[in-house]
Amino acid sequence: MFSIKKVVTVVLNTVFVMSAALFASTISADNGQQELQLAQLSDGFNAETTYMASCFACHSTGAANAPKVGEGNADAWAPRLEKGMDAVVQNAINGLGAMPPKGLCFTCTDDDLRAVVQYMVDSST
């Protein structure tokens, strides 16, 4: 026969294990969502299209000494990349000299801008 004490212990243990599991799964679900958000770009975002719409005007011509994008322009980017990609992306977000904040792409998220900068650097060979 079950003693009432045993039953209570089993029930309590079950509740404890279940709530611990629930707690753990809540934490990992939160982390998962955060990671997803970090890597998430705006709906329908395309780095090349955004570059053409927002950055091309200055960065294809080198207006106001903007580092030029495209073949033969690796030298324009090398010294800027020396401070690290994160710093270069931050300058694109905050602006730098004649470079306006966000390159005037106000619908761009920080991740979008990072993707556009990556596109610009990758195309400057």
Binding site for ligand HEC (CB under 6 A): 54-55, 57-59, 63-67, 80, 88, 91-92, 96-100, 103-105, 113, 116-117
Q: Which is nearer to ligand HEC, 32 or 62 (CB)?
A: 62
To ligand HEC, the closest distance from the beta carbon of 78 in angstroms equals 11
To ligand HEC, the closest distance from the beta carbon of 107 in angstroms equals 10
Q: Which is nearer to ligand HEC, 18 or 84 (CB)?
A: 84
To ligand HEC, the closest distance from the beta carbon of 94 in angstroms equals 10
**Alpha helix segments (H runs only) across the chain:** 4-38, 47-50, 56-59, 74-81, 85-94, 110-123
Query: What are phi and psi for residue 82, nearest 5 degrees?
Result: -60, -30
- The position carrying tokens 């033969």 is 72
Q: Cα(first)–Cα(last) distance of the chain, in Å?
A: 80
- Structure tokens that stand for 14 in this block: 């079950």
Residue 27, amino acid = I
Residues 6+ apart with CB under 8 A from 110: 89, 93
To ligand HEC, the closest distance from the beta carbon of 38 in angstroms equals 19
Q: Which is nearer to ligand HEC, 13 or 93 (CB)?
A: 93
Q: Which is nearer to ligand HEC, 16 or 76 (CB)?
A: 76
